[in-house]
Amino acid sequence: MPTRPDPLHVILQVGIYIFFFILFLALFVFTGIHAWTGLLAGAALSTFIPALATNVLTSRIYEGKHFLDIGMRWNRDSAWNASWGFAAGAASAAIVLAAPLALGAAHLHTEPVNTWHWRVFLFVMLILLFGAAGEEILFRGYGFQVLLRSVGPFATIVPVGVVFGALHAANPNVSRLGVANTVGFGILFGYAFLRSHDLWLPIGMHYGWNFTLPLFGTSVSGIKMEMTGYELQWSAGALWSGGDYGPEASILTSAVLFALFVFLWKAPVRRQRNALLDQPVET
């Protein structure tokens, strides 16, 4: 019979996890690494590098586990989950933008100053991957999994999702609906981890969404990435377009979020054994 976790021990583990992330983030900023990486790369790497270091250290200290044991091992099931996640994220973003284009509520406007170049495209796509992976490692990594095994899914996924959304409130041009939808994404990604017990499914969904939006020339969480030579211009109001924050502040995204939850519920996700959450198989 499994023993009940000590609440103080759980608080200490999660507290140290947060402390290490803040420490590594401060080191990243104060050493000036972000200064020579540029704004976009600096924003992505300032999450990815501290989150990676935090998870490596805390999983080793408290569990004697490797970083890969938090759901980062790559195998056929990981590739399957990541592919399904990417497809779902990309398709949902495309639906949010393609429907207004088809109905004439938006159109693509050519930006002659911002011409397409494959090097810029690859750079932005790589940075977006680091950004999505960094946020998932941070918010669905060791600290999240400690809470999941200690207090259960609902008491973990919802509060962490709220924190995920609240931290985006500092992004440029944010709105209340933008924060609410981002909370919804945080809960969605938590549910994705619950289904797969790996980080590849939520990373795939997160990256698929972030990958697709710039292709249409729209902002991602208030940040504009001009790389295709096109910009999506709306004739509809901010409730539909999301305004300067981008489609994540749109009511269309709210509807698509519901569809993504249904997709996750029914999707052929391959659940993997997680060293922190699943008991070893007895022989």
pLDDT in tens, 26-64: 988 877 666 666 667 778 888 999 999 999 999 999 999
DSSP 31: T
Q: Does the residue 95 lie in any domain?
A: yes
Closest CA to 53 of 36, 76, 33: 33
Q: What is the pLDDT, as a whole number, of residue 238?
A: 87
Confidence of residue 72 (pLDDT cuts 50, 70, 90): very high
pLDDT at 38: 65
Residue 277 confidence (pLDDT): 92
Does 280 reside within a domain? no
Number of helices (H), then strands (E), belonging to the chain: the values are 11, 2
Decide if 83 is inside a domain.
yes
Mean pLDDT score, 123-148: 95
Structural domain includes residue 131? yes
Please state the pTM of the whole predicted model: 0.93
From residue 129, alpha-carbon distances to 2, 50, 204 in Å are: 38, 16, 9
From CA 182, how far away is CA 165, in angstroms rounded?
A: 5
pLDDT (tens digit, 9 = 90+) per residue, 94-128? 999 988 888 888 888 776 666 667 777 888 899 99
Q: Which of 51-60, 89-98, 231-240 has the lowest mean pLDDT?
A: 231-240
The pLDDT of residue 283: 35
- The pLDDT tens digits of the residues spanning 160-206 come to 999 999 999 988 889 999 999 999 999 999 999 999 999 999 999 99
Q: Is 72 left (phi over 0), alpha (psi -120 to 50) or beta?
A: alpha
Higher pLDDT, 8 or 164: 164
- Whether residue 275 has pLDDT greater than 70: yes
* Closest among 56, 21, 28, 22 to 43, alpha carbons compared: 28
The residues near 153 (Cβ < 8 Å, ≥ 6 apart) are 194
Whether residue 279 lies inside any domain: the answer is: no
> Tokens at residue 271, please?
């659940």
Structure tokens at 150: 């200690």
Cα 61 to chain centroid, rounded: 26
Look at residue 1 in the predicted model and tell me its pLDDT.
43
6 assigned to some structural domain? no
The per-residue pLDDT for range 244-256, each reduced to its tens digit, is 898 999 999 999 9
Residue 10, SS3? Answer: helix
Position 106 scores a pLDDT of: 84
Least confident of 9-18, 145-154, 212-221: 212-221
Residue 99 within a domain: yes
* Per-residue pLDDT at 131: 94
Number of domains the chain is built from: 1
Element (H, E) at 193: helix 176-196
Per the prediction, the chain carries an average pLDDT of 89
Is-contact 267 79, C-beta < 8 A? no
Question: What does the DSSP 8-state code read for residue 282?
Answer: P
In sequence order, what E strands does 197-272 have? 230-234
Residue 233: domain span: 74-266
Would 50 be classed as within a structural domain?
no
- Rg for the chain (alpha carbons), in Å? 19
Q: How confident is the model at residue 199, as a pLDDT?
A: 98
Segment 255-272 shows an average pLDDT of: 95
Tell whether the model's pLDDT for residue 143 goes beyond 60.
yes
Strand partners, 234: 106
* Tens digit of each residue's pLDDT (9 = 90 or more) over 205-224: 999 999 999 888 888 888 88
